[in-house]
Amino acid sequence: MSSRDYILGRVRWSLGRGAFERDSCQQLEARLNTPQSNLIPKRGQGDAKAQLSLFVKMATEVNATVSRLKALENVPKAVAKYLKEQELDATVRLADHPELQKLDWSKLDASTGFSTGDDLVGVVMAYAGAAETGSLALRSGADSPTTLNFLPDYHIVVLKAADLVGDYEAVYARLRRESNKTDFMPRTLSWVTGPSRTADIEQTLLLGAHGPRKLHILVIEDNGEAS
């Protein structure tokens, strides 16, 4: 008997039944195919303004830094300013994201693509943000290499306020909505809440374990629709 059949058989035997009948299968299929949210904490359910201030508060609490910008065009300038504050060279590795690529990076030494570990600073676009815990949702794709989220020491993430939602569930709903396939998940979907850390040595909290030492979030309050 294959291990597969052995395990499934064993599960059924222990639960005291055979394989599911059609009826109960249909019920289970229905639960699986029409996902319902469970209890969602009230905390993130305010209006857009409340969500933004909650997001900033929660992200800051876990050692991320946040700048609020009026427009996407201001991103290169804000990045340059941040690098200066951090006493770094003005060199960045950009994700090949159309919204980032259309910006004027001429004042910085900017290259584009995934990282092989030699980049100190990575700049990426967030897919979404969840106010409830100040978390960023980053999805892999042609415009968003996963290596840029984990290899550089400085992780700069651009989040459009329009992509900020109250809770995780809203992001899952959006992923399903935006895909016409049943396989709507990217290879990698990461929720990022603050920069990397460890407390493995004498329970002392240290930032910058294996992932980025710093996480800087640029929130774009104007979505390019107004004015």
Span 140-179, contacts to another protein by CB under 8 A = 140-142, 145-147, 149-151, 167-169, 172
Q: Does 102 bind another protein (CB under 8 A)?
A: no
Q: Is residue 141 classed exposed, middle or buried when 0-12, 13-18 and 19+ CB atoms within 10 A define those classes?
A: middle
Residue placing its CB nearer to another protein in the complex, 37 or 223:
37
What's the closest the beta carbon of residue 129 comes to another protein, in angstroms? 12
Find the part of the chain contacting another protein (CB under 8 A) among 47-55, 71-79, 190-198, 216-224. 190-198
Contact letters for another protein, residues 18-47 (x by CB under 8 A): -xx----x--x--xxx-xxxxx-xxx----
Binding positions for another protein, 56-95, rule CB under 8 A: 58, 61-62
Distance, in Å, from the CA atom of 217 to the CA atom of 224, rounded to the nearest integer, reads 18
Provide the minimum distance between the beta carbon of 11 and another protein in the complex, in angstroms, as a whole number. Answer: 5
List of residues 6+ apart from 91 with CB closer than 8 A? 108, 109, 110, 119, 120, 121
Binding segment (CB under 8 A) for another protein, from list 73-81, 84-92, 156-164, 191-199: 191-199
Determine phi and psi for 3, rounding to 5 degrees.
Answer: -60, -35
Q: Which two tokens stand for residue 226?
A: 């107004």
Residue 224 as a binder of another protein (CB under 8 A): the answer is no
101 binds another protein (CB under 8 A): no
Structure tokens at 93: 């590795």
Sheet bearing 91-94, strands edge to edge: 65-69, 214-220, 154-160, 121-125, 91-94, 109-112
